[in-house]
Structure 1
Amino acid sequence: MPLNIGCTARPGRGRDNKTGSWRVFYPIFTEETCTGCEICVLLCPEGCIEKKGEKKYVPDLDYCKGCGLCAEECPGDAITMEKEEK
């Protein structure tokens, strides 16, 4: 059986199932330091960050896994990961 090289699943497959329940951290967006670059939207593996204004981004916490990729790659350090209390 040959192995496929690269991504074999389409992005956003997690949208088929709500995956936010197993999250430990969640993103907090700060408009004051946001540059509006939309890198967080482009890099989110679940495609669950939505632009609501010029520098206002909102994650859909039903699908956010809390991976922190958005916070790690944000050039303006406008996203912090907070521990979720359950």
Structure 2
Amino acid sequence: MGRTGDWRTFRPVINTSECNKCGICWMYCPEGVIQKNEDGDYEIDLEYCKGCGICATECPTKNIEMKRESEM
């Protein structure tokens, strides 16, 4: 798995307070960069995330937002 270059335009941001922890984002991530932490929340390894947005599209509660890298 390769690290993300500076070409990524969007990054996913999880609203952990509203997330129902269903794991669908984890299931659909083509890069396998979403993991559950010790608190049971899902986290995205942004070092390897390509910013494709599949996690945000598949989230049934719409608690993953794609934000522009330039806004971060």
TM-score by length of 1: 0.73
How many residues get paired? 70
Stretches of structure 1 lacking an aligned partner (at least 5 in a row) = 1-14
Segments of 4+ moved more than 6 angstroms: none
1:48-67 correspondence to structure 2 within 5 Å: 48-52=33-37, 53-54=39-40, 56-67=41-52
Give the share of equivalent positions with the same residue, in percent.
47
Say whether residues 1:41 and 2:26 are aligned partners. yes
1:4-83 correspondence to structure 2 within 5 Å: 15=1, 17-52=2-37, 53-54=39-40, 56-83=41-68
Separation of aligned partners in 1, 2:69 and 2:48: 14
TM-score by length of 2: 0.86
